[in-house]
Amino acid sequence: MRKPVIAIDGYSSTGKSSISKVIANELDLIHMDTGALYRGVTYFALKNCLEQTGEINLEKLFAQLPLIKIEFKTVDHELQIFLNDEDISQQIRDKEVSSNVSLIACQKEVRDYLMETQRSIAKEGGVILDGRDIGTVVLPDADFKFFLTASIEERTRRRYLELKSMGVNMLEEEVRENLTTRDKIDSEREVAPLKKAEDAIIIDNTTLTKMETILLIKSYIHPI
C-alpha cells in the first residue's frame, strides 16, 4: 500500500499548519509547512538585501537565491526550519517577516526556486504539504486535496488570541486588516494565486473546533 500525498490549502488563520501537523503525526506522514519556506526567504532578504530606504532589493535577492539553503530538521520531535544551518523557527514568525512575506511570495523567481524543495519531499509519498498553491500548482496530482476556509470574523478572533498568547498586543481591527490584506495579495497575485483546486474538498471550519476539523478531514482520507 502506497502512503498518500495530501495537499491542504486555504486562507490565513484557518489552522492549516497546526491541523496538518496533527494529521501527519496520526497517519505517520511527513508534514511541510510551505509558508515557512517563503518566510525563510523573507528573513534572508531582510538580513541581506535591504536598501538604505528599508526596502528589499528584489534583484539582489534573486541573484542570491542560489546561496539560500533551507532545510527542515527534527529537533525534540518538532520540525524546525534552518537557513544555512541557522535555526530560524522563531525568527520567521516576527512581525517584520509577516509584513513582508506576501511581497516575497508574489515573486516568480522565488516561487520557482522553492518548487523543487516542495516537490522533492513529495516524491516518495507519505507527505502532507500545507500552503496556498499546493493542490493547484505544486502537487496537482496529490491523492487528497482540501481547501480550508472560515469567516473573516472567526479568523480574526483566532489570530488575535494567538498573538495575545504570544505577548503581541494588537487591536482586533488591525489584525482583521492584516488578514484581509494578506489574503487579497495572495489571491490576486499573478503567479500561483491562492485558489481552490477544482478537485479539492472545501472545509469551512468557522463553527468547528480544531479536533472536529481534523476528524472531518480524516474522514475523507482512505487507503490508496
Q: Which residue, 101 or 217, has its beta carbon nearer to ligand DC?
A: 101
Q: Which residue, 2 or 95, has its beta carbon nearer to ligand DC?
A: 95
CB of 131 to ligand DC, least distance (A): 2
CB of 138 to ligand DC, least distance (A): 7
Q: Which residue, 105 or 203, has its beta carbon nearer to ligand DC?
A: 105
CB of 198 to ligand DC, least distance (A): 18
DSSP notation for the chain: -PPPEEEEEE-TTS-HHHHHHHHHHHHT-EEEEHHHHHHHHHHHHHHHSB-TTS-B-HHHHHHHGGG--EEEEEETTEEEEEETTEE-TTGGGSHHHHHHHHHHHT-HHHHHHHHHHHHHHHTTS-EEEEESSIIIII-TT-SEEEEEE--HHHHHHHHHHHHHHTT----HHHHHHHHHHHHHHHHH-SSS-S---TTPEEEE-TT--HHHHHHHHHHH----
CB of 7 to ligand DC, least distance (A): 10
Contacting residues toward ligand DC, per CB under 6 A: 12, 34-35, 38-39, 101-102, 105, 131-134, 182, 186
Q: Which residue, 2 or 117, has its beta carbon nearer to ligand DC?
A: 117
